[in-house]
Chain A
Amino acid sequence: MSTPEKCACGNDDEDGLIERLEEIISSYKETPGALIPVLQATQSLFGYIPQKAILKISEILNEPLSSIFGVITFYSFFSLKPRGKYLIRVCMGTACYVQGANEVLTALQQQLEIKVGETTPDKLFTLDIGRCFGACGLAPIIMVNDDVHQFVKSSAVAKIIKNYRLHEPKTVEVQS
C-alpha cells in the first residue's frame, strides 16, 4: 500500500478528492472487472473507503451497493474507516503469540485508548492485527507503517508510541 496522501490531516479536502475519484471511476466505465482497481484507487486516494465513494462507484459503474460492500469487506486491504497516519500492526502468528503478542496488543490498546481496527481521535494511529509477518525469529513483532519493531515487550510500548508522537509537527495535535 502506498502512503495515503491526505488521510492524516482531517477531511478538509474530501470533496475535492471525490471529484478526482469521479474521473478515475469514469475512466474505468467500459472496463469489465473494474471494481477492484477502482476500490484500490479509492483506498489510496482517501486512505480508506468513505461511504460517499461507495455511492459514487455504484452510480458510475452501475454496480449494486451490496456487491461493492461485499468486496470491500472481503479483502482486509480495504478499510471502511479512516486510517491514522501510522498503521500499527501487531503480528498474531503462532511464534509471536507464544512470545507474548497478546500482552503487547493489550498494552497498545491501553496506551492508545482504542480497540483493534480503530483510529485515535487525532488520526495519528490505527491499530490492527495480522497473521505471521514471516520474521518469527524476531518475535514478537509489531510494524508501524514500514518500520519493524522486534522483540517488543509490553513495557516498551509506551516509548515506541511516544517516539512517533515526538516526530509530529505540533499543528497536527491541535487539529480536529
Chain B
Amino acid sequence: MQITINSNSYEATQGETVLDVAKRNGIYIPTLCYHAKTGQSAKCRACIVQVEGMRGFQTSCNLSARDGMTVQTESKEIIETQKQIVDLMLSQGYHNCLACERSGSCELQDVCYHLGIEKTTYADAPTGRKDESSEFIVIDYDKCISCGRCVTACNNVVVNEVLGFGHRGKHTTIMCDDNILMGDSSCVQCGECVQICPTGALTDKKSRGTGRGNLDKVDTTCPYCGVGCQITLHVDKAKNKVVRVTGREVWPNNGMLCVKGRYGFEFHASPKRLQYPLIRKNGKHERATWDEALDYIVERTKEIVAKHGPDVFSALGSGRITNENNYAIQKFTRAVVKTNNIDHCARTCHAPTVAGLAHAFGSGAATNSINDILESELLFVIGSNMTEAHPVVSYYVKQAVQKGAKMIVCDPRKVDIAHWSDLHVPLSVGTDVPFLNGLINEIIKNGWHDEEFMINNTENPEELKEWVKEYPVEVASKICGVPEETMHKVARMLGEAKKVNVIYCLGITEHTTGTDNVKTIANLQMVLGHIGKKGCGVNPLRGQNNVQGACDMGALPNVFHNYQSCIDERAILKMEKDWGVTGLSRKEGYKLPTMLHKATSGETKILFCVGDNTVQTEPNTAKTIKEIEALEFLVVVDIFPNMTTEYADVILPDVCFNEDDGTYSNLDRRVQFLHKAVNAPGESKPTWWIMQELGKRMGVDLGFHSAEHTWEDMRRTGTIMGGITYERIQHLGLQWPCPTVTHPGTPILHMNGKFTRGLGLFSHTTYRAQAELPDAEYPFILSTGRRLWHYHTGTQTRNSIGLENIFPEELLEISPYDAKIMNVKSGDMVKATSRRGTITLKAWVTDRSPKGVTWCAFHFHEAHANVLTNDAYDNVTETPEYKACAIQIEKVSDGVEVISRGFRQARP
C-alpha cells in the first residue's frame, strides 16, 4: 500500500506504523517512549503527526499505516505542540546537560535540538534525588521523563522483574522492588535498563567522566560465556582502555547482556597481566626475551621427545581462546611434534555432548538456534542453571514463558529459573537416565510418541521400546525420588506439546554417566519426533565463550578441525598433503585426564598448556598438583598468573580477546568476529605467533602470519566451516555447517528428520549410581557449578572493577533443613571436607539446595570446589563427575547473619 508523508508517496506494508514508514525513509519524527524492543506505549506524545480526515493530533508510534493515508509531520502547529509537550516534560525534572553522561547520545537532547528548545520556559524542579547504591548503575530521578522504557525492558525484555512504577499522577516514579534502593533490590545489574533509557536518568556508574564523543567504537564478541553476545567496546584510544560496553541489537543477544559482559571489562588493562616471557631459574620465574624462551622450549622439547618419542608431549587448547589459536595449537601438536595428544577443557564440560549427540545424530552440537526458544511450546530444561551460567539464554526463555510457552525445570536444586517455571522437578542427583527412561516409557505407553518419525527416521525404534520397559514409572520414580504423579504429568506435557525444546547443560554431562545422559535425551527427542524442526531440538548450552570453537578447531585427541577423524587414513593424507609434512600420528591421542595420569607414570613428560589453569579446574586438586609436579617440562601460555603458572618452567604472555582479530563459535554454532580494539600490554603475543615461531625453530613453517592467515589455513582443509571467511562475518556471524562461500549457514540441523548420520540412532542406557555416594562419614552431596558474577578461575572477573564487591567470596549453599540440624546460619564459617581435601568458607542457607545437597563454585582460588571434587569420570569421554561427590560439614565459627528478603537471583 501507499501512504503520503509530507506530500511524498511511500510504500508501506501491513502491520507497519506511520513511524516505521517515516523512519525507514529517513524522515525524523521525535520519539521518546517508543523503542523497537519495548514497543509502543504512546506515553510521551512527542511523536505526534496530523492525518488528513482525523481530528487533532495522532501519536505516530502506534498509528497503523493505512492505504491512501496522508500524513503531515512538520507543520507549524505540530512543531508548536511538540515544543509545549517537551517544555512541560523538561519542567518536571532538571535537565542540565553539561556534565550528563548521556550528552551527545541522549534522545531527549536530540528532540530538543530538533525543536530548538534551549531550556524549559517554566521553572525546573530539581529534587537532587539520586540512587547510587548499586555497584554499576546510577539513577538520577531528575532526568527521568517517566517514559517507561526501562520498566518494560526489565519486566518484558530481560524479565528480571525488578523495576516498576510507583505512586500516581505527577508523583509517578520508577522504583526497584518495593521501592527500595537498587543496591538492596533483586536487580542483577544486567544494565538493559541503562542501555534503553533515552535520557541520562540511568547511566553506567563506572563510565562517569571517562569520555563521551571522543571514544572509538569497536564491535566485537563477549569473552565470557557461550551465548556469544555481540558487544560494542567504547575505547579511549589515548589511554588504550575500554571504558564502557554496550550490547549490539543483533542476534544472538538483541542488545541484552549480563553483568559480566557489560561491566566486567577492565581486566584487559589490569597491571597484573603477564607481560613478558618468564623462565624458571633456581626456583624463581625470571624475565626472559622471546628468543630465549622459545629457544629454551624447543631445546627441551626436542631433547625429551628424541629420547622418549612424541607421545610424551601433550598440549591443551582452550575454550577461552580464539578458533585461530586453537587451530594453531592442534596443528603444531600434530604436524610438528607428531602426536595427537591435544585436548582442551570441553573434556571437563561438554565432551559427553559431543560424543553422545555425534553417536545419536551424527553431529555433536546444538541442533537449533537460540532464537528458536521463542517458537517453542514447551521448554524442557534439565541440569541448567541458566540465569547464572547463560543469562541471555535465560532472558529468551523467560520471554517465551511470558508469551505463553510452558516450562518444566528438572534439577535437584531449585535453580533461579525454576521461579518462572510451571513445574520444578527436583530429581535426585545423578538419576537422569532412569528419570528420562521412565518418561519415555510412559510416553510410548500412552501412544504420545511419533511412530512415523521413529519408523522413517531412526535406527532401533523397536529395540528402544523394549529397552525402556526396564523403567516403568513405578520403578523410575523410586530411583529418582520424583513422585509417580509428577512423572505422569511431565510425560503428558511432553507428549501433548507440539514443539518441545530440550535445553540442558552440565547437570547432564558432568557425571560418570554423562554420555549416557546425553544419549537418553537424544532418545527422548527422537521418540517425540522433535528433531529437525523449528522450536524443537536438543540444545546443550556450551559453557565458555569458545568451547564450541575449540572442538570445531580439532583441539581434541580424536579429530582434526571440523571433526575429521585423525585415524581415518584419507583425512590424514589430506592433512599431510596440505600441511606439507609426513608421518602424522595414526593413533588417537590422550584425553586430558589421561595426559595427567600418565605424568605420574612417566609417560607424559611435557605439557604445553594454553589458557587452561589446569590446577584449579581439574577435580581433586591435590592429585592434580602431584601430576603437574611429576612433569618434566611445563609451558603455560596465559594472560594472568594463576595456580598453574606457579608450576610452570616457562610462562608466555598471551593477548586477550580485544587485542587481536579472531573468531569464536558460540553455543548455536555461530562463528562470530572479534575485532582488535586495544594494544596488548608489554611484549604479549598471540598464541598463533608463538606456535609459528616454535614451528619455525623445529623446521616447519606453519604458515601463521596473522589471525586471518591462520583461519585461512584451517579453511583450506575445513569442511563444515569451509565457506566462512573473515569478510563474510565482519558484522554478523554465520552458523556452521557452511561448506561454501555462498552457503547461507545452517540455523537448524537434521532438518526434516534427515540426520547428519542418515538415521537417528537410539541407544540403550541403564542406571548407574554416582561414583561416590554419601555415607555416614561424608553425609552430604556436593554439587558444583558457576556463579552469575564470576567466570572460570576468576582471573578476568576478579581483575575487573565491581564484580567482586557484589560477590566477594565463595559460599557453600546448604538447605535450611540441614542447616537447622547443624545449627548453621547464613554467614557462619564452615569447613567442608571430602576424602580429598578441605576448604573453609561461609555458609549460605538457601532453599536453592534440597535436603542433603550442598553446592559451591570454583571461581575463588582461596576456597574452590575442586579441592573436594571427585576425579571419577565418564568412561566414554573421561569427563569428571563434578556434579556429585560426598562431603562432611563442620561449623567453624559464628558469623554475622545475612538476612535475605524476598526472592533475589544469584546471591543471598
* Contact for A59 among B162, B164, B175, B902, CB less than 8 A: B902
CB distance from A16 to the nearest CB of B (A): 20
Chain A window 64-97, contacts with chain B (Cβ cutoff 8 Å), 1 for yes, 0 for no = 1111111001100000000000000000000000
Interface residues of A in 43-69 (CB under 8 A from B): 51, 54-55, 58-59, 62, 64-69
- Bound CA span A78–B42, Å: 28
Check B22 for interface membership: any CB of A closer than 8 A.
Answer: no
Interface residues of B in 168-203 (CB under 8 A from A): 168, 175-179, 186
What are 7 A-B residue pairs whose CB atoms fall within 8 Å in the complex?
A59-B903, A65-B186, A66-B161, A66-B175, A66-B178, A68-B178, A69-B177
* Chain A residues in 8 Å Cβ range of B81: none
Number of interface residues of A (CB under 8 A): 15
B177 touches A65 (CB 8 A): yes
- Bound CA span A121–B167, Å: 25
Known contacts being A55-B901, A64-B161, is A69 close to B179, with CB within 8 Å? yes
Check B24 for interface membership: any CB of A closer than 8 A.
Answer: no
* Chain A residues in 8 Å Cβ range of B186: 65
A55 touches B902 (CB 8 A): yes
* Chain A residues in 8 Å Cβ range of B176: 66
Chain B window 361-392, contacts with chain A (Cβ cutoff 8 Å), 1 for yes, 0 for no = 00000000000000000000000000000000
* Contact for B178 among A59, A62, A69, A74, CB less than 8 A: A69
- Bound CA span A149–B419, Å: 51
- Interface of B: prevailing SS: loop
* Chain B residues in 8 Å Cβ range of A67: 161, 164
Check B615 for interface membership: any CB of A closer than 8 A.
Answer: no
B179 touches A58 (CB 8 A): no
Q: In this complex, what residue of B is CB-closest to A58? A: B902
* Chain A residues in 8 Å Cβ range of B164: 64-67, 69-70
Chain B contact-residue range equals 20 to 34
* Chain A residues in 8 Å Cβ range of B167: 73-74
* Chain A residues in 8 Å Cβ range of B175: 66, 69
CB distance from A57 to the nearest CB of B (A): 10
Known contacts being A51-B178, A54-B178, is A65 close to B168, with CB within 8 Å? no
Query: Which of A58, A66, A70: most chain B Cβ within 10 A?
Result: A66
A70 touches B166 (CB 8 A): yes
Interface residues of A in 108-128 (CB under 8 A from B): none
A-B contact sample (16 more), CB < 8 A, given A66-B161, A70-B166 = A54-B178, A55-B901, A55-B902, A59-B903, A62-B419, A64-B177, A65-B178, A66-B151, A66-B163, A66-B177, A67-B161, A69-B175, A69-B179, A73-B166, A73-B167, A74-B167
CB distance from B188 to the nearest CB of A (A): 13
B166 touches A69 (CB 8 A): yes
Check B579 for interface membership: any CB of A closer than 8 A.
Answer: no
Interface residues of B in 141-179 (CB under 8 A from A): 151, 155, 161-168, 175-179
Q: Which 4 A-B pairs have the closest CB atoms?
A: A66-B164, A64-B161, A65-B177, A69-B178
* Chain B residues in 8 Å Cβ range of A54: 178
B902 touches A65 (CB 8 A): yes
- Bound CA span A70–B151, Å: 12
Interface residues of A in 122-158 (CB under 8 A from B): none
- Bound CA span A38–B675, Å: 54
B168 touches A73 (CB 8 A): yes
CB distance from A60 to the nearest CB of B (A): 11
Q: In this complex, what residue of A is CB-closest to B180? A: A65
B162 touches A66 (CB 8 A): yes
* Chain B residues in 8 Å Cβ range of A65: 164, 177-178, 186, 902
Q: In this complex, what residue of A is CB-closest to B179? A: A69
CB distance from B179 to the nearest CB of A (A): 6
